Chains A and B, each alone.
Chain A
Amino acid sequence: MPSRNHLRSRASAWDRKYSPYLYISPFFILFAIVGLFPLVYTAWVAAHDWDLIMGQGEFVGLDNFAHVVGQRAFWIALRNTLSIFILSTGPQVVAAIIIAYMLDSHLRARTFWRMGVLLPYVVTPVAVALIFSNLFSQRFGLVNSVLDTIGIDPIGWQSEVLPSHLAIASMVNFRWTGYNALIFLAAMQAVPRDLYEQAEIDGAGKVRQFISVTVPMLRPTIIFVVITSTIGGLQIFDEPRLYDQYGRGGTDGQWQTMTIYLYELGWTRSDFGMASAVAVLLFLLIVAIGIINFTITRRIANGEGRKSSTSRRRLKKGATL
């Protein structure tokens, strides 16, 4: 039966051609619904006059973007976002690697310590923010009281720009350092132990081992952590929103981040068009910084890798001397 055979072979050809796409399609379908659609729709809203309650208005093209970029508040929000992001992500990743390294060594009650670092992550951000904003209260907060007893003038945690950023970054770090440390720890445990043995035989101390073996081997994990904390850091919302009683980011926008600004435009002033324009700009910013971070971390890791091989050679030389 030629026709039947023909059909069958055609079906199997289709099968071979298309079924792989079908297998991977669930991800793409979900992504289209929860990822791509909101993205495109936000851009669509950004090109219109759009009221939170009354809905879609006239098409205005790039007017919303022009208006937003012309606002002082936008640039302040951008400055605050970048500043809080740098103050939180940088120390966080470094501290997480160091903590992970310590947890990876032979500790007593290892599980206890490992669970311990995860504890802050379990606490809801709202509770963290409430406790920290209490600690950093300007007049009667604990931090300023302690500073006062050791003779340092009280710091304007809620009135000045940099102190408020430090306070908010400390909340973020409190919450995320342990989580990232565990990710690093998992990656560290996958590093072949004979590398360390070899390094030890070569005469490398703990610090040298850490810099020349651990860090280069963690490269993919570092990239992952940096990218995720870039995204999280630039979208920071809970902590600054709960930092004072109003949640607008200070009387002069001292700690008003992009997301707070977006919220103010969209929900307080009910201008969804402008809020969406900010959202699109924030998206572009995250993509840009994400790419920059990706290249930097890749280069660092690569550079470290190269350096480590040369240093190992140097070490060997030293050993033979």
Chain B
Amino acid sequence: MSTTDFTHPRRRRLAQAVALGAAATLALSACGADADAEAGSDNGDSEAAAPDSLSVTTFNEFGYEELFEEYEEQTGIRIEHNKVDTAENARDSLRNSLGAGSGASDIEAVELDWLVEFMQYSDRFEDLSAPEVEGRWLDWKYEDAVDEEGRQIGYGTDIGPQALCYRADLFEEAGLPTDREEVADLLDGDWGNYFDTGREFVSSSESAWYSGSDNIWQGMINQVEVPFETEDGEIIADTNPEVKDLYDELLEASVEDELSAGLSQWSGDWSDAFQRDGFATMLCPGWMLGVIEGNADGVDGWDVADVFPGGGGNWGGSYLTVPTQGENIDAAKELAAWLTAPEQQIKAFEAIGAFPSTVEALESEEIQSATDEFFNDAPVGETLANRAEAIEVQPFKGPNYLLINVAIQDALNRVDVDGIDDADDSWEKFVNDVEAMK
């Protein structure tokens, strides 16, 4: 009797445990099955009917907020906008999604500086080429997004022809001309001339000439034909005399001649300095106009001159891509095509100054006659169009371009912003960083 008394409850418990285990496995497998079923049905849906919503990841400012609302009104598709703070962070998160095979938005914005890197994995992106978008973009803008097999993986959004933004009021205080045409004449020339004018400026002003070396660096390096990597894939960043010369010239002007405000781009201090007369000039690709306007809200005196040291230069500009892992590929392609159509590019330009990359938009009346109230009614459209024409060099950017450029900007900031190294020590560290990438 005693044994049965013991065994029975035990057995019951055993049975319970087994049942529990079984239930748990069932629950787990049910989850898996559910997820599969969901993914499957979504895939099916995308072909049959439009999805309820699409997700779009951008970074910095694209000027899409109002366009998204417009699209939602037109089509009823809700757009989840995921706005990343810096391009570098957007790149990391896209890499992560590609690696994991999930997590990417339906549309992912990719910047020029790291597009090449993603070209290595171009099969992870949809081929977007379509007869109705053929010939839409400037040739070079289009060609950069085409892989070796001729698949177009990105629709060009904006380009970054650079003009020079300046504070007319600070110029006046320092005794420099303030009219944008006179300023253009004054700064017409090479970087040496730009720095010399800066030396003149800082000698009679409390503000710095520019925000920091990293801002100026982008202008300089985007004029070098083969900066960091050769087309054979060899890394020459640490041995290229052109790079070293620019580095030395820039740091001499920044630190020894104190032209720099010593602020690293996108930092909190950098944003704050717009409100405090921190610096008088800034390199201005179209998209930077929106950044300045946002940070310098309420500050009078900004203007845009139709000039750029060393000729012309393109800084940045982006593409919209559709990762293959997405569940609403067709709808995403449609949206990407719509967002990059000339009419929408003009609206993005009006919103934040993102300069169009499509031929039609560039030639349009709206762009040619566009002025910007914040920049003292400067003819920003015409200015940037002129600056786009002045671009002579499209630098070759290899798959390591971004990493190397980040490393050299760190090197500049160690000297200019942090003041923890002199130019030579910091260069040594940069050489080590580049060695580690080889």
Contacts and interface: CB of A to CB of B under 8 A. Distances in A.
B421 to A, nearest CB: 7
A46 B319 CA distance: 34
B186 interface: no
Given A12-B7, A53-B121, A246 B86 contact: yes
B219 to A, nearest CB: 20
Given A15-B11, A19-B13, A267 B95 contact: yes
A22 interface: yes
A267 B100 CA distance: 11
B272 A140 contact: yes
Contacts of A245: 85-86, 264-268
Nearest to B413: A251
Nearest to A71: B436
A252 B420 contact: yes
A251 B417 CA distance: 9
Contact of A139 (B6, B263, B403): B263
A12 B85 CA distance: 64
B202 interface: no
A145 to B, nearest CB: 11
Contacts of B413: 251
B376 interface: no
Interface stretch (A107-115, A130-138, A227-235, A304-312): A130-138
A139 B274 CA distance: 13
Contacts of A268: 88, 92, 95, 403
Contact of A12 (B3, B17, B411): B3
B438 interface: no
A139 B266 CA distance: 14
Contacts of B7: 8, 11-12, 15
Size bracket, chain A contacts: 35 or more
A247 interface: yes
A142 B124 CA distance: 46
B67 interface: no
A160 interface: yes
Size bracket, chain B contacts: 35 or more
A52 B95 contact: yes
Q: Which of B88, B92, B266, B413 has the most CB of A within 10 A?
A: B92
A137 B99 contact: no
Interface in A148-201: 156, 158-160
B14 A22 contact: yes
B21 interface: yes
Q: Which of A26, A52, A254 has the most CB of B within 10 A?
A: A52
A304 B432 CA distance: 50
A8 B410 CA distance: 75
A270 B121 CA distance: 13
A1 to B, nearest CB: 15
B177 to A, nearest CB: 30
Interface string B426-438: 0001001000110
Interface in B243-290: 263-269, 272-273, 276
Contacts of B419: 156, 159
B96 interface: yes
A138 B269 contact: yes
Contact of A26 (B21, B98, B421): B21
A160 B99 contact: no
Given A15-B11, A19-B13, A23-B17, A270 B95 contact: yes
B268 A133 contact: yes
A124 B194 CA distance: 46
Contacts of A138: 269
Q: Which of A54, A139, A160 has the most CB of B within 10 A?
A: A139
B136 interface: no
Contacts of B417: 159, 251
Interface in A65-86: 71-73
A25 interface: yes
B263 A267 contact: no
A303 B311 CA distance: 75
A16 interface: yes
A233 B295 CA distance: 36
Nearest to B410: A251
Contact of A270 (B85, B99, B266, B269): B99
Contacts of B85: 245
A194 B124 CA distance: 70
A238 interface: no
Interface string B9-25: 01101100110110010
Nearest to A25: B21
B151 interface: no
A245 B86 CA distance: 8
B96 A267 contact: yes
Given A156-B418, A246-B86, A52 B99 contact: yes
Interface in A236-257: 244-248, 250-252, 254
Contacts of B11: 11-12, 15
Nearest to A156: B418
A73 B429 CA distance: 11
Contact of A53 (B10, B124, B429): B124
Given A72-B432, A159-B420, A15 B10 contact: yes
Interface string A261-274: 00000011110100
A252 B267 contact: no
Interface of A: 8-9, 11-12, 15-16, 19, 22-23, 25-26, 52-54, 71-73, 133-134, 137-141, 156, 158-160, 244-248, 250-252, 254, 267-270, 272
25 contacts: A9-B3, A11-B11, A12-B6, A22-B17, A52-B98, A52-B99, A53-B99, A53-B124, A140-B268, A140-B272, A141-B268, A156-B419, A244-B267, A245-B86, A245-B264, A245-B266, A246-B86, A248-B406, A248-B410, A251-B264, A251-B417, A251-B420, A267-B96, A269-B437, A270-B99
Return the 8 tightest CB-CB contacts between A and B, nearest first: A159-B418, A52-B99, A139-B269, A251-B410, A245-B266, A140-B272, A12-B7, A251-B413
Interface of B: 3, 6-7, 10-11, 13-14, 17-18, 20-21, 24, 85-86, 88-89, 92, 95-96, 98-99, 121, 124, 263-269, 272-273, 276, 403, 406, 410-411, 413-414, 417-421, 429, 432, 436-437
Given A52-B96, A137-B272, A245-B266, 18 more contacts: A11-B7, A19-B13, A19-B14, A22-B14, A22-B21, A53-B95, A53-B99, A54-B121, A156-B418, A245-B85, A245-B264, A245-B265, A248-B410, A252-B420, A252-B421, A252-B429, A267-B96, A270-B95
